[in-house]
Amino acid sequence: MIKLLIVDDSALMRRQLMTLFQAEGDFDIRQARNGAEAVRENLEFQPQVVTLDINMPEMDGLTALSLIMAERPVAVVMVSSLTEQGALATFEALNLGAVDYIAKPGGTISLSISKITEDLVEKVRGAARARVKSKGSTPSTAVRRIQEERKKATAAYSLAAQSRVAAEGLLVMGASTGGPRALEIVLSGLPADFPWPVLVAQHMPAAFTKAFAERLDPLCALHVKEVARPLPVEAGTIYIGRGGADMLLTNRGGKLLILPAPEDPRFHWHPSVELLGRSVLQHYDPKRVTAVLLTGMGYDGSDAFTEIKKRGGRTIAESEDSAVVYGMPAELVSKGGASLVLAAEQVAAQVASWAGR
């Protein structure tokens, strides 16, 4: 049995969630009406997973999360609204130690729950297997200041120089559960003179990726952009796939472009890492590709990244000790597709070394 604590100030929402998880047959469930009750129940009930609403009276979800992670760290799945404010609060929660989140669509509660039932159950089951991490692993203020100075230097590159170095290599990354924190660690570690473009597919809803890119931009020495329209692929830039879509690399008139595309129904997760990897294989020399598969449930990207390695490219799988959920990188390793297995904290230095930086 999975011990689950449901935290929400809405009695109707708690009842809907109780019904949903009771129907699964393998959950031992308790409820809390606000953050203060959640903190107490975390100590008394000792759940394996907590679903935690953000906006609650008496004590909000972020305050409760900080106390929970300080007193008894547990796998927490945040329940967030599909708004910019909800996205920003979610990233703060992930920084505080939450392992995943689910975005509530608008409308009546019963309709909202029906739309997210499959994802919610999958995320809670995945959270029960997750490695719970304490707060940390983010750049300090001093490092951010240095990175801002490096970014200014990067911006001074001429367009001709960008086009020249873009042809030298390409870094492709995929992540899911636990990915935002892992990507923050890796991407903030890349130097300002990193000579390759960086393409990132992180499983995330449409309302969240713009806020995610904006959050990463001041932390990274490279510029960070959400791919909401076709963009030229240039060095000194990190491209974040737009949520609610897939992201594809293409070649138009000899010029590389990265563009959003409607979600491909053949693939379960979006933005699809597998589809991005296949487009890279189609339009770029695999021998000049480095592919990194980070934490996440499932197997997205493992086939394409294995093929990249077979065709002469280099690949990295995040290590089990580092990953929040050792699913996607484990699949890459099991298929013989990993050139190296590294902790998230080691990836940036290795990639920079391969790039000659």
Indicate which residue of 53, 81, 100, 176 is catalytic: 176
* Whether 218 contacts 285, CB under 8 Å: no
Indicate which residue of 8, 100, 246, 300 is catalytic: 300
Decide if 176 is catalytic. yes
Residue 168, Cβ neighbours under 10 Å: how many?
12
Decide if 270 is catalytic. no
Token pair belonging to 173: 């990354």
Cα(113)–Cα(73) distance, integer angstroms: 27
- Number of residues that this document lists for the chain: 357
On the question of a cis peptide bond just before residue 271, with omega within 30 degrees of 0, the verdict is yes
Indicate which residue of 203, 279, 302, 319 is catalytic: 203
Which residues carry out catalysis?
176, 203, 300
